[in-house]
Amino acid sequence: MATASQRVRLIIGATLVTGIAAAFLLRPHPPWRAPERAASAGAVHAGGKPPSAQVREFEGSYPEVAEPTGVVRDVALEAAPVTLPLLDGQPLDVWAYNGQVPGPTIRVRLGERLRVTFTNRLARPTTVHWHGVRLPNAMDGVPGVTQPEVPPGGTFVYEFAPKDAGTFWFHPHLRSSEQVERGLYGVLVVEDAAPLPYSRDVVWVLDDWRIREGAIDPQFNTPHDLMHDGRWGNVITVNGSIDERLTVRPGERIRLRLLNAANGRVFAPDFSGLDARVIAVDGLYTARPLDPAGFELAPGNRIDLDITVPPSAAGRQISVVDRFTRRPNALASIDVSQGAAVQSPAFPSPAGAHVPPWRDTEAIAPRLEYRLAARRGGEFGIEWTLNGAAARHAHDTEASAADGHGHEVSVLPRREWSKLRFVNESGRLHPIHLHGMFFKVLSRNGRPADEPFFRDTVLVHARETVDVGLVPLDEGRWMLHCHILEHAEAGMMSLLDVKSM
C-alpha cells in the first residue's frame, strides 16, 4: 500500500499528462455501448415507428408523482467559507455546506417532502440546484431563470417532494466552476418507500482538486482549462480524503453510491476485485444488474453498486482505482476485516426497472439538434457554443434580472416523445446534462446503443454524435448544458421550455 504522500506524488505526476491525453485514449467499450463508427451522411431511412409508439413503450417507466406520506423533512443548509482538514489531512480553505466537504448527505424517503432552508454566508451570490431531481421548476435553482440569486446573507427555501428514489446531488448554479471546485456539493439520497436491507448504504463522492502551495489554485476558467476538458486537478479525493477507506466484514452486502463532483475529470472506477453490479444510473434503477467495467462516470453522473463481500476476501485490502486515463489513479480502499463471514442479506436485485426499448428510431428526425463547438471571444477569450450561440449569464454576478440572459430557448412538448441529437464538432469531451427530465441514449455515431437505463448526463466524446430519446413530464424552463463547468461558464448552456401543446 502506498503512503498518502506517495499517492499524492503519483497523482501529480499522472495528471500532467491526463488532462491532455484523456480525450485521445482508446478504451474498451462497456458491453452495452456499441463500437464507434463514422456517422453516415443523411442517415435517415424508413422503418422508424411513429413517436406515439415510443410514448406507449415509455408508460410506467417512472411515476408522475410519488404516493405522499404526509411527512415533511426540514433541513437547514448553509454555505460558508471554512478551513477543514481535507485531502491528506492538512488544513485547507474551502467553501462548504454546513461546514463539511462533501456537504451533508440529505436523506429523505420516497413520498416525503423535503424543505431545505438555505442561507448564504458566502461573500458571493449563489443558488442551490438539485441535480437530477424531477421537481417543480421554481425549485430548480437556476439564477435568472427559475429564481433570483441568493445574495450574501440571503436565504431561500427549497421545497419539493422527490418523485424518484435514488442518488442525486446538489450544488450551486452560479459561477459553479469556482463554487463547486471550492467544495460546495452534497448528496441527496431518496430512499425507496421500503428500503432494502443492505448491510450498509455508503456514499463515495469523487472529486479532484488543483492544489498550489497548499491552497486551491485561485485561477479559475484559465485559457488552458477552457481549451481542454475543463479544470483537471492534481489531487483526487473520495469524500474529501486522498486515503478513503471503507472497512467491511466478509459477507456484508453493500449499496455503494458513487457521484462524480469534479469540474471536468471523468472517472472509470475499476471494481474488478469485487463482484460489483451496477443497479442504478443517475438515480434510477437499471433494467437489470450490469457489469461496472468501463463505465464512464462523467461530471454529474452517479452509479449505485450492489456489492456482496465474499467470505474469501477476509483480511484483504481491495484498492479501487480509476482507469479513465492511461495512468491509473488510486481512489479508495475497501478493507475487509478478518474473521468469520456474516450472513449476507438475501433479496433479489432491485435492478429491474421498466426501461423502454425504443428500437428502430433511426428514421425519426431529431426534434432538436445541437452542434457543440468552440470559438474565440467572450469574457474568457474562448466561448463554447451550442448551434453557434454562447450563453453569457452564469458568470454575470451583478445582473440577475429574470430574463433569458441570452440563452437560446427551444420548445419541447410535454408527454410527447422527442429525439435530441448532439453533434460534437470539437475534439473535447462534453458531458451533456438536462435538468428536470431523464433521457435514454438511442445511438452513438449512428449505431444503436441499447443502454438499459435512463440518464440525466451523457458523455459525448470528441467528434461523436449522440442521439437521445425522452418524454418530458414536468412543465417549465429547464437547462441543457455541458457539465464540464468551465465549458458551461464559457457559454455551453441552453434552455428547454417544456409545454403542454
Instruction: Check residue 400 and give left, alpha or beta (phi > 0: left; psi -120 to 50: alpha).
Output: alpha
Cα gap 40→445, rounded to integer Å: 8
Residue ranges in 429-448 that form contacts with Cu ion under rule CB under 5 A: 430
| Nearest to ligand C2O of 131, 253 (CB atom) | 131
DSSP 410-467: EEEETTS-EEEEEEE-SSS-EEEEESS--BEEEEETTEE---SS-BSEEEEPTT-EEE
Cα gap 363→46, rounded to integer Å: 5
| Nearest to Cu ion of 325, 361 (CB atom) | 325
Cα gap 281→257, rounded to integer Å: 10
Residue 373 Cα to chain centre, angstroms: 21
175 binds, among Cu ion, ligand C2O, none (CB under 5 to 8 A by kind): none
Of the candidates 175, 180, 137, the residue with the CA atom closest to the CA atom of residue 158: 137
Considering the complex, what minimum distance in angstroms separates the CB of residue 369 from ligand C2O? 21
Cα gap 77→75, rounded to integer Å: 6
Options 256-264, 284-292, 413-421, 428-436: segment touching Cu ion (CB under 5 A): 428-436
- Would you give the binding string for ligand C2O spanning residues 88-127, x where CB under 6 A is met? ----------------------------------------
How far lies 285's CA from each of 279, 289, 358, 377, in Å? 6, 9, 18, 42
| Nearest to ligand C2O of 109, 481 (CB atom) | 481
Cα gap 370→385, rounded to integer Å: 9
Options 74-82, 297-305, 422-430, 450-458: segment touching Cu ion (CB under 5 A): 422-430
| Nearest to ligand C2O of 131, 277 (CB atom) | 131
| Nearest to Cu ion of 60, 388 (CB atom) | 388
Options 6-14, 67-75, 111-119, 475-483: segment touching ligand C2O (CB under 6 A): 475-483
Q: Is position 129 an interface residue for ligand C2O (rule: CB under 6 A)?
A: yes
Cα gap 391→377, rounded to integer Å: 12
Q: What angle do CA 382, 388, 394 make, to 5 degrees?
A: 55
| Nearest to ligand C2O of 252, 489 (CB atom) | 489
| Nearest to ligand C2O of 253, 395 (CB atom) | 395
| Nearest to ligand C2O of 351, 493 (CB atom) | 493
Considering the complex, what minimum distance in angstroms separates the CB of residue 112 from ligand C2O? 22
List 249, 265, 477, 481, residue binding ligand C2O (CB under 6 A)? 481
User: CB burial class (10 A; 0-12, 13-18, 19+) of residue 85?
Assistant: exposed
Q: Is position 280 an interface residue for ligand C2O (rule: CB under 6 A)?
A: no
Cα gap 470→162, rounded to integer Å: 19
134 binds, among Cu ion, ligand C2O, none (CB under 5 to 8 A by kind): none
| Nearest to ligand C2O of 104, 294 (CB atom) | 104
392 binds, among Cu ion, ligand C2O, none (CB under 5 to 8 A by kind): none
Options 66-74, 186-194, 405-413, 478-486: segment touching ligand C2O (CB under 6 A): 478-486
Of the candidates 144, 150, 148, the residue with the CA atom closest to the CA atom of residue 121: 150
| Nearest to ligand C2O of 131, 393 (CB atom) | 131
DSSP 57-70: HHTTSS-SS----S
User: CB burial class (10 A; 0-12, 13-18, 19+) of residue 15?
Assistant: buried
Whether residue 248 contacts residue 12, with contact meaning beta carbons closer than 8 Å, is answered with: no
Q: Edge to edge, what strands does the sheet with 235-238 contain? A: 235-238, 200-209, 253-260, 302-308, 276-281, 284-290
Considering the complex, what minimum distance in angstroms separates the CB of residue 433 from ligand C2O? 5
Options 92-100, 239-247, 409-417, 477-485: segment touching ligand C2O (CB under 6 A): 477-485
DSSP 11-63: HHHHHHHHHHHGGG---PPPTTSPPP-PPPTT---S-PPPHHHHHHHHTTSS-
| Nearest to ligand C2O of 131, 163 (CB atom) | 131
Residue ranges in 138-177 that form contacts with ligand C2O under rule CB under 6 A: 171, 173
Residue ranges in 415-474 that form contacts with ligand C2O under rule CB under 6 A: 433, 435
Joined together, the cell numbers standing for residue 72 give 415533511
Considering the complex, what minimum distance in angstroms separates the CB of residue 384 from Cu ion? 6
Q: Is position 495 an interface residue for ligand C2O (rule: CB under 6 A)?
A: no
Q: Is position 302 an interface residue for ligand C2O (rule: CB under 6 A)?
A: no
Q: Is position 391 an interface residue for Cu ion (rule: CB under 5 A)?
A: no
List 484, 485, 495, 498, residue binding Cu ion (CB under 5 A)? 484
| Nearest to Cu ion of 292, 299 (CB atom) | 299
Phi, then psi, of 492 in degrees rounded to 5: -80, 70
Considering the complex, what minimum distance in angstroms separates the CB of residue 158 from ligand C2O? 15
Considering the complex, what minimum distance in angstroms separates the CB of residue 401 from ligand C2O? 20
Dihedral through CA 382, CA 210, CA 456, CA 169, nearest 10?
-130
Q: Where are the alpha helices (DSSP H) in 81-216?
A: 176-179
Binding residues (CB under 5 A) for Cu ion: these are 430, 482, 484, 487
Binding residues (CB under 6 A) for ligand C2O: these are 129, 131, 171, 173, 300, 433, 435, 479, 481, 483
